[in-house]
């Protein structure tokens, strides 16, 4: 009978020490792996990686020929699908941190311990399985439209990237695995969490909590509850949010700000499925699906030592990243119209019209507060508008205040769209929009440079670049062809 290889992608061991090489090989076999490639000559490692689709590399750091760190950099750059686990004979924290920054999945100190090696192998294989699952899901949803577009009605967009995100959310909504939603403040992470809960079909409630700033005791009491007499004033038992969300979804907002002590308890809930209410020594089973959100870079927090790497991996079983508004400027007209209609209804006044000059102005603003900030700007302007056109002045004042500069003289602001009005808002002097070199460029060269810069700022979107330059998209396209 033909032997079934496990894992499908082989595990490569690169170690110049024959005893260490054999021990690692034996431990891997004891852990249930039989698809193993031993390599005692580090100079052959890259050749083996070229020949075989290696899944995991166990890499000794100190070797003659090619060092482990050199191989690690090559693996990170040329074989991104391969996980590298460092084997080191010293407990040098600086070396370990440097290797993690270079892209290592984990590291193990020598002499090897079977328990530690087994755990690392289990985590690495689980991580690769999740990568493959996510890739398959993303490929699957690309070929299909939305089954429940009504669920996403609260997120106003016709951006293709956003619709692909909705398709992925719909595909993973009914799984029980954790979901991590990332994105800047104001992009709508809470709205996406609500959509995932509705699509999940769970009968329980969506229970949301902002965990930023909660110390460990408050976090434990809030999520896990407490038994009677657990602390002074605990006159009766209280159920935590995990229990309240049973059969539903527990949404943990600002997860990147969670204290380290609390992270360990959350990790237990995710891995083991149980938790301890305060003052109780018998665990309870958790029956809520965990969805978390953050505007911070968890990978960077892991490198800084303030966020657990294992929790980061566990939270992002499914990961959805919402792009900032400045990367979906094609949604600006739609969003402005939507917020304006809502504002007019709340203010009980006719809905004013939106001028092209306003969209040009908004197209060059960075929107640090994203969609939420745009909503505030539109509502404020609508409340001040008495004409049939939405007043542009409140937007100018707001943006000027945010940038710490004026947007131009009153005369230029009241005129038709021009290059002065659409200049970058971080210009140090609005009367000096262009700094000329000793030799003046030709008009053709200046036009080419101006269009290229506008396209660069607008991520290649011609419609946004046209608004930035105060000309039509057709004009931009015509000039590009002529250039």
Domain chopping of the chain, boundaries: 11-130, 154-323, 327-435, 438-483
State the CATH architecture for 438-483: Orthogonal Bundle (1.10)
Q: How far apart are CA 68 and CA 57, in angstroms?
A: 11
CA-wise closest residue to 55 among 80, 24, 28: 80
Q: H/E/C letters for each residue in 315-378?
A: HCCEEEECCCHHHCHHHHHHHHHHHHHHHHHHHCCCCCECCHHHHHHHHCCCCCCHHHHHHHHH
Q: Which of 3.30.499.10, 1.10.8.60, 3.40.50.2300, 3.10.450.50 would CATH assign to domain 327-435?
A: 1.10.8.60
Query: pLDDT digit of tens for each residue in the chain (483 aa)?
Result: 456 678 888 999 999 999 999 999 999 999 889 999 999 999 999 999 988 889 999 999 889 889 999 999 999 888 888 999 999 877 677 777 788 888 899 989 888 999 899 889 988 888 887 777 666 565 555 545 778 889 999 999 999 899 999 999 999 998 889 999 999 999 999 999 999 999 999 989 999 999 998 999 999 999 999 988 888 888 888 889 999 999 999 999 999 999 999 999 999 999 888 899 998 888 888 889 999 999 999 999 999 999 999 999 999 999 999 999 998 988 999 999 999 999 999 999 999 999 888 988 898 888 999 999 999 999 999 999 988 899 999 999 998 888 664 334 333 433 333 333 333 333 334 334 566 665 677 887 788 888 888 888 777 778 777 777 777 777 777 777 776
Q: How far apart are CA 322 and CA 162, in angstroms?
A: 8
Q: How far apart are CA 383 and CA 390, in angstroms?
A: 10
How do beta strands 318-321 and 179-182 pair?
parallel
How do beta strands 83-88 and 36-39 pair?
unpaired
Q: How far apart are CA 193 and CA 198, in angstroms?
A: 9
State the CATH architecture for 11-130: 3-Layer(aba) Sandwich (3.40)
In eight-state DSSP terms, residue 112 is P
Q: pLDDT value at position 136? A: 57
In eight-state DSSP terms, residue 60 is E
Q: How far apart are CA 242 and CA 259, in angstroms?
A: 18
How many alpha carbons lie under 13 Å from residue 450 in its C-beta half-sphere? 20
Tell me the whole-structure pTM to 2 decimals. Answer: 0.59
Residue 204 is encoded by which pair of tokens? 């329980």
**Which helix (H) or strand (E) element contains residue 34?**
none
In terms of phi and psi (left: phi > 0; alpha: psi -120 to 50; beta: otherwise), the region of 169 is: alpha
CA-wise closest residue to 169 among 311, 298, 322: 322
For domain 154-323, give the fold.
Rossmann fold (3.40.50)
Q: Report H helices in 52-113.
A: 68-78, 93-102
Residues in the chain: 483
| Shared fold status for 11-130 and 154-323 | yes
Contacts of 182 (CB under 8 A, 6+ apart): 189, 293, 294, 295, 298, 319, 320, 321, 322
Q: pLDDT value at position 410? A: 36
């Amino acid at each position: 009978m033909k032997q079934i290889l496990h894992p499908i992608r082989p595990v490569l061991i690169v170690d110049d020490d024959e005893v260490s090489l054999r021990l690692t090989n034996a431990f891997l076999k004891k852990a249930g792996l039989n698809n193993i490639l031993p390599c005692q000559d580090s100079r052959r490692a890259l050749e083996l990686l070229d020949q075989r689709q290696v899944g995991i590399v166990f890499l000794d750091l100190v070797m003659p020929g090619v060092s482990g760190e050199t191989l690690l950099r090559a693996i990170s750059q040329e074989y991104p699908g391969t996980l590298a686990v460092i084997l080191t004979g010293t407990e040098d924290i600086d070396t370990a941190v440097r290797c993690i920054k270079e892209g290592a999945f984990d590291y193990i100190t020598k002499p090897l311990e079977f328990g530690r090696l087994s755990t690392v192998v289990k985590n690495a294989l689980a991580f690769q399985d999740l990568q493959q699952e996510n890739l398959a899901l993303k490929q699957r949803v690309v070929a299909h439209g939305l089954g429940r577009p009504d669920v996403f009605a609260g997120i106003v967009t016709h951006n293709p990237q956003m619709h692909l995100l909705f398709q992925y959310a719909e595909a993973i909504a009914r799984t029980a695995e954790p979901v991590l939603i990332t994105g800047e403040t104001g992009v709508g992470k809470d709205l996406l969490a609500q959509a995932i809960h509705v699509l999940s079909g769970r009968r329980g409630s969506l229970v949301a909590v902002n965990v930023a700033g909660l110390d460990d005791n408050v976090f434990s009491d809030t999520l896990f509850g407490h038994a009677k007499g657990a602390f002074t004033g605990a006159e009766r038992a209280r159920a935590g949010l995990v229990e309240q969300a049973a059969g539903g979804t527990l949404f943990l907002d600002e997860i990147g700000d969670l204290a380290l002590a609390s992270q360990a308890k959350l990790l237990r809930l995710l891995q083991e499925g149980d938790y301890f209410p305060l003052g109780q020594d018998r665990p309870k089973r958790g029956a809520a699906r965990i969805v978390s959100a953050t505007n911070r870079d968890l990978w960077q927090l892991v490198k800084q030592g303030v966020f657990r790497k294992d929790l980061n991996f566990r939270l992002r079983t499914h990961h959805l990243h919402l792009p900032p508004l400045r990367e979906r400027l094609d949604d600006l007209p739609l969003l402005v119209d939507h917020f304006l209609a809502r504002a007019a209804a709340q203010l009980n006044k006719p809905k004013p019209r939106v001028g092209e000059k306003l969209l040009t102005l908004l197209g060059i603003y960075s929107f640090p507060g994203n969609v939420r900030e745009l909503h505030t700007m539109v509502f404020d302007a609508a409340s001040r508008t008495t004409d049939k056109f939405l007043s542009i002045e409140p937007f100018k004042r707001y943006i000027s205040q945010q940038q710490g500069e004026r947007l131009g003289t009153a005369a230029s602001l009241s005129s038709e769209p021009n290059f002065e009005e659409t200049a970058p808002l971080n210009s140090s002097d609005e009367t000096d929009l262009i700094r000329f070199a000793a030799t003046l460029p030709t008009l053709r060269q200046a036009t080419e440079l101006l269009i290229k810069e506008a396209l660069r700022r607008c991520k290649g979107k011609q419609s946004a670049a046209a608004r930035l330059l105060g000309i039509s998209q057709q004009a931009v396209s015509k000039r590009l062809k002529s250039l």
